[in-house]
Structure 1
Amino acid sequence: MELLRRGYQVFVGMVDHLEVDFLAVGAGQERLYLQVAYSTDKEETLKRELRPLQLINDNYPKLLLTMDTVLPEQNFGGIRKTNALNWLIGD
């Protein structure tokens, strides 16, 4: 709902048979890729959530939103991991 409120069209993405939770397309055709997970404290969960985003070969923003309390936010090769609540209030 938040992506729609921000003016995006929202789709589910697929890359190499892996699902990208949300592909948000803006008015100027800019894109935003989002993966959402409650927690990525376990290494295997983090890898699973990052994998689809790592396979996307363009320069549009890629986000991993979690409820983890990550301070400061983390960056995994251009994939920004941030707290979902912080993102919702407009970090």
Structure 2
Amino acid sequence: MNIQSEKYHLIQQIIELQNTTVIKKIREVLSGKTSNNDWHHELSSAEKKSISKGLQDLENGNILSHKEVINAVKSKIASLKTYSKNISIQI
């Protein structure tokens, strides 16, 4: 598809839009307002604290690899299965 037909299809979609939030976002993109927006300013203080804690954990080496997490989850699932079998036997 060439650029002119792409624009035409976008115009058609915009005309059919009923969602005001999407329309506002399109207006922001077209006006260039979004280029200076920093998503960090839109985060809540709890989200910012959580990100800071994660970065501190990373700096301190307090991390687990994907493989370690998977192994821990598999181990927990196995222990829960064993636990549930023992409970049903005792009843």
- Structure 1 length-normalised TM: 0.23
- Structure 2 length-normalised TM: 0.23
Between structures 1 and 2, the one with greater helix share? 2
Which structure ranks higher in relative contact order (CA pairs < 8 Å, sequence separation ≥ 6)?
Answer: 1
The structure with the largest alpha-carbon Rg is 2
